Amino acid sequence: MSINIKAIKRIIFSSSSLFILINLFTSAINFIRSMVFMRVMDMRELGIISLIQTCIMFIGLLQFGFLNGGYRVFAYKKTSDQTKVNNILFSLFGVIALALLLIWIILSVLDIELLISPRYLILTFIAGLFSLISTWLTNTMTVKKMIKDINIRNLISGIISIALIPLVYLYGIMGGIISIMMQPIVFVVLALLMHKSLRPDKICFDRKEIKYILSLGFVPFMIGIFTIVNIQIERWSIAYILNVEELGNFYLVFIFSSLFVLVPTSINYLFLPNIIYSYENGLMAEFRRHVRNYTLVLMGYGICVVLAVLTALQPLVDILFPSHSGNTHYVFLLIPGLMSQLLYYSVSATLNAWKNFTPLLISGLVGVFSAIAIIAITGSMKLFDLTVMVYIKNISYFLPTLFGGTYIYLHRQKFKNKL
């Protein structure tokens, strides 16, 4: 059998492949930054950085489903709706910016820190806002097939973020926040400067269009809330039931979990629009093919990561982060949950295409309330510790996947006919 070298090169150097590779580069940046954090900061400072990153994620909740619904409108490829949706989204970002500023002023005046000082909090809010805008621009550029442009912006913003990492050595937590926040800021600024079509041209709060966007995006947003709420519950529970230092001891798990999902997230950007489009247009053979390929790619990635973790994680941590050598067993215990999480990507994509949001909503509720219940019980019994937290994370990953997968099996006829 002859090997088609040109075909292989086309695959390797295609925009889609480079999209994944550059996202891996971004993952490497996050890892390098986290490595610096783990080497320079003590456990309490790591705990504070964890809370700052948690707040940045929490700001993502303030979009109330507009990003999810707007993405679906763009995925339907109706050009006439896209400009209005983009204007609505940027108008929303303006409202969120004003709300965050008001919250910061109130907390500063009342001298309320919530474990994060006001000078760190204002930068955290800026980082969260630009991360939200960056996510929206990535979504729209993906649907518009501007993968090459995304690659360039991610590459430039990533390089700048790397250049700022030494600030951690000079300014500690403040340097870390600056390094974190500059990545989305640079991406957003470059994308808007270079592409006029991505910029809003007016403030827009069209009620009819807002209702339409929310009708498509609110339930997926609620599902996203559950994912973020699980993280909020996990980290704040450790900080308050145990202490901030223990949150620092769990930092290795946070970093590994975050890095683990970056590749599936990149893959999702490539598969989800095609899965939605093929089902929406009744292309059932194509729909089945996309779902099957998506699932196989996810599982292949998962197997590779598991093998790498089992063979290389402990030696690497011993060399690079000796103070965290005793925390690797938390990562090993988390492997079953992470594999279940990979399957949930496929489950979620299928149910999104079917517009069956209720099962996604229920599965998210099951994961959140099971976590809350177990934390409450173990906390009241003085049994809560980091090992228990890992088991809770596994359960919160497994139950939603089981529920969603069961629903898909019971309604598998939708793989043959659009219902």
Distance, in Å, from the CA atom of 340 to the CA atom of 330, rounded to the nearest integer, reads: 16
Tokens of 304: 């590779």
C-alpha distances in Å from residue 298, one per residue of 294, 328, 356, 406: 6, 24, 22, 19
What's the CA gap between 353 and 274, in Å, rounded?
A: 10
57-96 per-position pLDDT tens digit: 889 888 888 888 888 887 775 655 778 888 999 999 999 9
**Residue labelled with tokens 């097939």:** 145
Residue 282, φ and ψ in degrees, nearest 5: 70, 20
Cα–Cα distances in angstroms (integers) from residue 50 to residues 13, 128, 253, 343, in the given order: 36, 14, 11, 27
DSSP string, 330-362: HHHHHHHHHHHHHHHHHHHHHHHHHT-HHHHHH
Phi, psi of 219 (to 5 degrees): -65, -45
Please report which residue ranges of 195-326 form alpha helices under DSSP H. Answer: 207-237, 244-249, 251-280, 284-320
Side chain identity at 279, as an amino acid letter?
Y
- 201 three-class SS: coil
- Say if residues 353 and 279 touch (Cβ distance below 8 Å): yes
289 exposed, middle or buried (CB, 10 Å; 0-12, 13-18, 19+)?
Answer: middle
The predicted pLDDT at position 228 comes to 82
Q: In Å, what is the CA distance from 148 to each residue of 184, 199, 347?
A: 17, 18, 28
Q: Give 217-271 pLDDT, tens digit per residue.
A: 887 787 768 878 888 889 889 988 988 888 889 989 988 888 788 788 878 878 8
Q: What is the pLDDT along the chain (419 residues), one digit of tens a residue?
A: 444 455 444 544 455 566 667 767 776 777 788 888 888 888 888 888 888 988 898 898 888 888 888 888 877 756 557 788 889 999 999 999 999 999 999 988 887 777 788 889 999 999 999 999 999 998 888 887 777 788 888 888 888 988 898 898 888 899 999 999 999 999 999 999 988 888 888 888 888 888 888 888 887 787 768 878 888 889 889 988 988 888 889 989 988 888 788 788 878 878 888 888 888 888 888 888 888 999 999 999 999 999 999 999 999 999 888 888 889 999 999 999 999 999 999 998 888 888 777 888 888 889 899 999 999 999 999 999 999 999 999 999 999 999 988 988 888 777 676 65
Is the CB of residue 132 less than 8 Å from the CB of residue 93? yes
Provide the pLDDT for residue 11: 46
Q: Where are the domains of the chain?
A: 1-216, 250-419
Query: How many CB atoms are located within 10 Å of the residue 415 CB?
Result: 17
* Model pLDDT, residue 2: 46
Residue 174 near residue 122, CB atoms below 8 Å:
no
Q: What is the pLDDT of residue 189?
A: 94
Q: What is the pLDDT of residue 97?
A: 95
Q: How many Cβ atoms from other residues are within 10 Å of residue 122's Cβ?
A: 17
H/E element holding 34?
A: helix 15-40
Exposed / middle / buried, residue 151 (Cβ in 10 Å: 0-12, 13-18, 19+): buried
* Residue 188 near residue 200, CB atoms below 8 Å: no
What pLDDT shows up at residue 78?
Answer: 60
User: Residue 3 has what pLDDT?
Assistant: 46
User: Is residue 405 within 8 Å of residue 388, measured between CB atoms?
Assistant: no
Q: Residue 14: its pLDDT value, please?
A: 55
Burial class (CB in 10 A: 0-12, 13-18, 19+), 17: middle
Q: What are phi and psi of 91, to 5 degrees?
A: -65, -40
pLDDT for the residue 330: 94
Cα 362 to chain centroid distance, Å, stands at 20
Euclidean distance between CA atoms 246 and 257, whole angstroms = 17
Residue 366 amino acid letter:
V
Q: What pLDDT score was predicted for residue 109? A: 86
pTM above 0.85, yes or no: no
DSSP symbol at 180: H
Measured in whole angstroms, the distance separating CA 283 from the mean position of its chain's CA atoms is 29
The per-residue pLDDT for 12 is 47
pLDDT of residue 229: 85
SS3 of the chain: helix, strand, coil, percent, to 5: 85, 0, 15
